[in-house]
Amino acid sequence: MIWQQLQSLAGSCPLALRGLGMTVVLSLISLVLGTLLGFGLGILRTGGNQLISGVIDAWVDLIRGTPFLVQIFLIFFILPEFGIELDAFTAGIIALTNLAACFICEIVAAGIRSVPTGQVEAALASGLSRWQRMRQVVLPQAMRIVLPPLVGQYVLLIKDSSVVSAIGLTDLTRVGWLVVQRVPNGLLVFFLVGVGYFIVCYPLIMLARRLERRMGAAHGEVQL
Amino acid sequence: MLENFSFRTIVEYLPLFGQGLITTVWLSALSFVGALVVGIVLCAMNLQRGWLFRVPAKAYIDAVRATPLLAQLYFLYFGLPRLGFVLPELVVGILALSLNSGAYIAEIIRAGILSIPRGQVEASVASGMTYVHRMRLVVLPQAFKVTIPPLLGQAIVLVKDSALLSLISVSELTRAGQLLASDRFMPAEGFLTIAAFYLLLYYGLKGLAGVSSRWLGTAGART
């Protein structure tokens, strides 16, 4: 019986690879977009404009305060009411990017605030423009604080991408769910699904730990 | 557009939402207690010098942190019956949340204990305290202060994670929203309402975290 199951599982191999591919593609696209957006928001938030940082704060709180599953449902089922038709893939990318951007914004803002004001003043006194100041003085120093939790955030993002299976995207978790309908061995099937995620996530966790030790930033904003 | 947004339907479904909210609250609370137990045991194992307890604890913590909660939930949901444990969905859900959060809590407690300066431990050894005395009178009271804020952070994560239990048809808050969305074809009403309820829980816990860190005087100690 176990042989039959193994054979049947071997037959699902292409499906599993497609699922893993979907998980990686989803995570990668939203990781890049979320990082860009998150850095932008983080810089804006510490820019000194009360109104802008207030709006960003409120949005980040809304996203942090609601489950990701509910956010996906909201995007997937409600945006169409505003005339924006979305397929599941786009909805997943939007939801994941938004989530990543909000958490990365917090990480970046904390990093920028950790740079001593003397540095900014010195940059001002040397006549650097706003952009030069950010790019050449503040960000390079902030990266020391930003990098370890940023990598940790990527792990969270990959894991959160599993929730997208709820709106029918065939990612790795969904593949497990499909396979378990045919091969009634939940332990084995979801063990293998777990192995798939582990292979992607564990190297990143190790990297985050190494960065944390190297950068000497003992207090991470994010727990993996 | 949302011009058909029906507050009346929301009011009509309010008892269902209320029940969902209550279920979410108590199942999260129960899971948090379970997670504390799992976390303390794992942390104690992890801090042992011998490898016999340390290695399994570390492996468990890494395995949990490197895989999504949803996959863990399905692992238990589809796997337990195979081992002969046919449990109600609610129990499986609480079990999954406890086992998942426990791994994170173990690390929070460990960080708290390791944050105690070595001098404190050495001083208590020099004063002739036993291991139990040292832990109970010197290390744990100080570690307690450091761990409360991140523990409340984990409680917030747990409440949000509990939404995933709706996918194994536990009738909690998110499930209530799904019911309204599918019964009446009103996703906006259903999901916006539960989002509001989750925000209520979030701000409550966040406020508690703020109060506790001011009360414990750890606000400044974190930087």
Interface check B199 vs A, CB under 8 A = yes
> Does A116 lie at the interface with B, CB-CB under 8 angstroms?
no
Contacts of B58 in chain A (CB under 8 A): none
Best CA proximity match to A164, nearest among A92, A67, A80: A92
- Is residue B173 within 8 Å of residue B23, measured between CB atoms? yes
Confidence of residue B96 (pLDDT cuts 50, 70, 90): very high
Report the 10 Å Cβ neighbour count for A201.
22
Place of tokens 């699902």: A12
Which of B58, B191, B222 to mutate: most A Cβ within 10 Å? B191
Mean pLDDT of chain A: 88
Mean pLDDT computed over B12-25: 91
What percent of chain A lies above the pLDDT cut of 70? 96
Q: Where are the domains of chain B?
A: 14-216
pTM for this structure?
0.89
More confident residue, B3 or B193: B193
pLDDT in tens, A42-83: 999 988 788 999 999 999 999 999 999 999 999 998 888 787
Token pair in block for residue A2: 């176990």
Place of tokens 């599918």: B182
Q: What's the CATH architecture for B14-216?
A: Orthogonal Bundle (1.10)
Instruction: Tell me, yes or no, if A70 comes closer than 8 A to chain B by beta carbon.
Output: yes
For residue A185, the distance in angstroms to the closest alpha carbon of chain B comes to 7
Interchain contact, A62 vs B199, CB within 8 Å: yes
Query: What's the rounded Cα separation, in Å, for the pair A133 and A123?
Result: 6
Question: What distances in angstroms separate CA B202 from CA A9, B17, B35, one per listed residue?
Answer: 42, 17, 19
Question: CA-CA distance, A182 to B47, in Å (whole number)?
Answer: 43
Statement: residue B2 has pLDDT above 70: no
Residues of A whose CB is below 8 A from B71: 162, 172-173, 176, 190, 193-194, 197
Predicted pLDDT at A216: 63
The one-letter amino acid at A166 = A
The whole-number pLDDT of residue A183 equals: 81
Compute the nearest-CA separation of B56 from chain A (Å). 16
* A139 in contact with chain B, both atoms CB, cutoff 8 A: no
A134 in Cβ contact with A76 (< 8 Å): no
Query: Residue B222 — pLDDT band, cuts 50, 70, 90?
Result: very low
State how far residue A126 is from chain B, nearest Cα, in angstroms. Answer: 29
Q: Please list the alpha-helical segments (H only) found in B2-139.
A: 7-12, 14-46, 51-65, 69-79, 89-114, 118-126, 131-133
C-alpha A9/C-alpha B165 separation (Å) is 27
pLDDT tens sequence across B160-194? 999 999 999 899 999 999 988 888 888 888 899 99
Is 70 exceeded by the pLDDT of residue A221?
A: no
* pLDDT value of residue B58: 93
Q: Which residues of B touch A186 (CB under 8 A)?
A: 74-75, 77-82
Considering only residues 100 to 129 of chain B, which have any Cβ-Cβ distance to chain A shorter than 8 Å?
104, 107-108
Crossing angle of the two packed helices A139-160 and A13-45, in degrees rounded to 10: 140
Residue of A nearest to B157 (CA): A67
Cβ distance A205 to B71 less than 8 Å, yes or no, reads: no
CA distances from B78 to A148, B100, B171 (A): 35, 17, 18
Helical (H) or strand (E) element with B216: helix B187-216
d(CA A110, CA A148): 13
Stretch among A5-19, A35-49, A127-141, B32-46 having the lowest mean pLDDT: A5-19
Of the candidates B142, B134, B137, the one whose C-alpha atom is nearest the C-alpha of residue B114 is B142
8 Å CB contact between B212 and B155: no
Nearest-CA neighbor of A174 among A97, A89, A106?
Answer: A89
Q: How many Å apart are CA B76 and CA B63, to the nearest integer?
A: 15
Average of per-residue pLDDT values in chain B: 89
Lowest mean pLDDT among B4-13, B18-27, B94-103, B146-155: B4-13
pLDDT confidence bin for B220, thresholds 50/70/90 = very low
- What is the CATH code for A2-215? 1.10.3720.10
Are the Cβ atoms of A186 and B79 closer than 8 angstroms? yes
Half-sphere exposure of A174 (CA within 13 A, CB side): 19
The pLDDT value recorded for residue B62 is 93
Question: Closest Cα of chain A to B127: distance in Å?
Answer: 30
Residue spans of alpha helices (H) in chain A: 2-11, 13-45, 50-65, 68-78, 88-113, 117-125, 130-132, 139-160, 172-182, 186-215
Give residue for tokens 């996703």.
B187
- Residue B178 to residue A73, Cβ atoms within 8 A: yes
Q: Is B82 on the interface with A (CB under 8 A)?
A: yes
3-state class of A201 per DSSP?
helix
Question: CB–CB of A190 and B71 under 8 A?
Answer: yes
Give CA A112 to chain center in angstroms: 20
Residues on chain A touching B81 (C-beta within 8 angstroms): 186
Q: What is the mean pLDDT of residues A14-25?
A: 89
Does B166 contact A65 at a Cβ distance shorter than 8 Å?
Answer: no
Domain extents for chain A?
2-215
The DSSP annotation for B140-189 comes to: HHHHHHHHHHHHHHHHHHHHHHGGGGGGGT--SHHHHHHHHHHHSS-HHH
A 190-209 residues with CB below 8 A of B? 190-191, 193-194, 197-198, 201-202, 205
Residues A163-218 pLDDT 10s:
999 998 889 999 999 998 888 888 889 999 999 999 999 999 999 888 888 876 44
- What pLDDT shows up at residue A184? 80
User: Which one of A1-10, A138-147, B132-141, B198-207 scores highest in mean pLDDT?
Assistant: B198-207
Is residue B58 within 8 A of residue A205, CB to CB? The reply is: no
Q: Which residue of B has its CA nearest to A194?
A: B67
Q: Which residue of chain A is at minimal alpha-carbon distance from B61? A: A224
Q: What pLDDT band is residue B218 in, cutting at 50, 70 and 90?
A: low
Residues 6+ positions from B55 with CB-CB distance below 8 Å:
none
- Asked if B78 and A173 come within 8 Å (Cβ–Cβ), the reply is no
